[in-house]
Amino acid sequence: MSDTASRPVLYVIVCAAGPATHVDRLVTQAQVRGWEVCVIPSPNAVDFINVAALQKMTGHPVRSRYRKPGESGSLPKAQAVIVAPATYNTLNKWAHGIADNYPLGLLAELVPLGIPTVVLPFINSALAANPALSRSISELRAMGVRVLYGPGEFEPHAPGTGGSRLDAFPWGLALDAAEDARRGASPTQG
Ligand SMILES: Cc1cc2nc3c(=O)[nH]c(=O)nc-3n(C[C@H](O)[C@H](O)[C@H](O)COP(=O)(O)O)c2cc1C
List pLDDT tens digits, range 133-149. 999 999 999 999 999 99
Is residue 106 within 8 Å of residue 60, measured between CB atoms?
no
pLDDT of the residue at 15: 98
* Interval 6-24: pLDDT, tens: 899 999 999 999 999 999 9
- Whether the pLDDT of residue 94 is over 90: the answer is yes
Q: Ligand 1 centroid vs 17 CA: distance in angstroms?
A: 4
Contacts of residue 92, defined as CB under 8 A and 6 or more positions apart, other chains included, come to: 132, 133, 136
* Interval 21-47: pLDDT, tens: 999 999 999 999 999 999 999 999 999
pLDDT of the residue at 189: 40
Confidence band, pLDDT 50/70/90 cuts, at residue 1: very low
In whole numbers, what is the pLDDT of the chain averaged over residues?
Answer: 94
Q: Ligand 1 centroid vs 77 CA: distance in angstroms?
A: 28
The answer as to whether 49 is a domain residue is yes
Which atom number of ligand 1 is nearest to the Cα of residue 127? Answer: 11
The answer as to whether 70 is a domain residue is no
The answer as to whether 190 is a domain residue is no
The answer as to whether 138 is a domain residue is yes
- Whether the pLDDT of residue 62 is over 50: the answer is yes
Domain that holds residue 15: 4-64+76-184
Which atom number of ligand 1 is nearest to the Cα of residue 43? Answer: 26
The answer as to whether 26 is a domain residue is yes
Best of 39, 44, 133, 136 to mutate for ligand 1, by most ligand atoms within 8 A of CB?
44
The answer as to whether 98 is a domain residue is yes
Cα–Cα distances (Å) from 72 to 5, 83, 105, in that order, read 19, 24, 19
Q: Ligand 1 centroid vs 68 CA: distance in angstroms?
A: 27
Best CA proximity match to 54, nearest among 8, 78, 22: 22
In the chain, the number of structural domains is: 1
The answer as to whether 71 is a domain residue is no
pLDDT of the residue at 75: 95
Q: Cα angle vertex 185, ends 182, 186, to 5°?
A: 135
Cα–Cα dist 88/15, whole Å: 9
Q: Is the CB of 87 under 6 A from ligand 1?
A: yes
Give just the sign of the alpha carbon dihedral 187, 26, 47, 58: negative
The answer as to whether 48 is a domain residue is yes
Best CA proximity match to 86, nearest among 154, 138, 36, 38: 154
- Whether the pLDDT of residue 117 is over 80: the answer is yes
Q: Ligand 1 centroid vs 111 CA: distance in angstroms?
A: 23
Looking up residue 123, the CATH number of its domain turns out to be 3.40.50.1950
Which atom number of ligand 1 is nearest to the Cα of residue 89? Answer: 25
Q: Ligand 1 centroid vs 123 CA: distance in angstroms?
A: 9
> 171-184 and 23-32 helices cross at what angle (nearest 10)?
50
Long-range contacts of 136-141 (CB under 8 A, 24+ apart): 136/91, 136/92, 136/94, 136/95, 136/96, 137/91, 137/95, 139/95, 139/96, 140/91, 140/94, 140/95
What mean pLDDT do residues 108-117 have?
Answer: 98
